[in-house]
Amino acid sequence: MLAYRHAFHAGNHADVLKHIVLVALLRHLNLKDKGWRFVDTHAGAGDYRLDGAQAAKRGEYRHGIGRLWQRSDAPPAAADYLRLVRQLNPDGALRRCPGSPWLAQALRRPQDELRLFELHPTDHAALQRAMAGARGVQVTRADGFAALRSQLPPPTRRGLVLLDPSYEGHRDYPQVVAAVRDALRRFADGTYMVWYPLVLKPGAAAMVQRLKTAAPQGWLHATLTVQPLDAQGFGLAGSGVFVLSPPYTLHATLQALLPWLTAALAQFDGAAWALEQHAV
């Protein structure tokens, strides 16, 4: 939705979970020399100022990346993510937070490709500036759901697709399922990562169940809850990540990560995590 601006939420607890998993998936792809294609259907602005008016208005990053910034006891997956965030803040002060395009660009090798889609005109322009001159990177102002089919299969038959719409409207949940199913028909060997919010809105549970039935090569599902669900339907209690065709190492990585991350980001006594998988 064009009203949504991720800058207000950049660096929050949901970003932390999403980006740690994303970095782990990209690291796994880099274990082989053969190039890969990363497709981001809702790419945003690339990276975000945390000392700007939008992020400061809500201050959500203070309960996300802000809580991890000075930690020295992070498990490997979180420590890897924090190293990348520190690359964006070389003076040691937390002023910027990477989005998924920035992280993918930081981990991309010369043989790899980025295909980044963003519909919001302001964020698209910012993303273009952030990626200006980068070879192997295409930034397009388009609906990522519709554009995805043109990107699959990648020439190397290796790829990762990230689908993380705003979910401000109910249509995003069935659109994610439809996009994944269509993508799998074109590129069954790819890895697909779906992020979604834990809020009191219909659609998420049904989406997850449909994704489970759509995964031909297994799936992994992780959730992190850090604050109570608001009875009025406002606020972000936590988030979930669903990965189709996950690497075999991801379950152990998240099993080591999630208890630590829950304790670090908890905003109430009932904070919790969950992890399930179906391997083929």
Residue 199 pLDDT:
86
Distance, in Å, from the CA atom of 33 to the CA atom of 90, rounded to the nearest integer, reads 29
164 is catalytic: yes
CA within 13 Å, CB half, 81: 30
> Is there a domain that residue 191 lies in?
yes
Domain of residue 227: give its range. Answer: 6-278
- Domains: count for the chain: 1
The domain spanning residue 265 has which CATH number?
Answer: 3.40.50.150
> Is there a domain that residue 1 lies in?
no
pTM: 0.95
Distance, in Å, from the CA atom of 216 to the CA atom of 221, rounded to the nearest integer, reads 15
What is the chain's pLDDT, residue by residue, as a tens digit (280 residues)? 444 557 678 899 999 999 999 999 999 999 999 999 999 999 999 999 998 666 566 779 999 999 999 999 999 999 999 999 999 999 999 999 999 999 999 999 999 999 999 999 999 999 999 999 899 999 999 999 999 999 999 999 999 999 999 998 789 999 999 999 999 999 999 999 999 999 877 799 999 999 999 998 999 999 999 999 875 455 789 999 999 999 999 999 999 999 999 999 999 999 999 999 999 8
> Is there a domain that residue 15 lies in?
yes
> Is there a domain that residue 173 lies in?
yes
Angle value at C-alpha 97, between 235 and 32, nearest 5 degrees: 110
The catalytically annotated residue of 15, 112, 123, 164 is 164
Residue 56 pLDDT:
61
Residue 59 pLDDT:
77
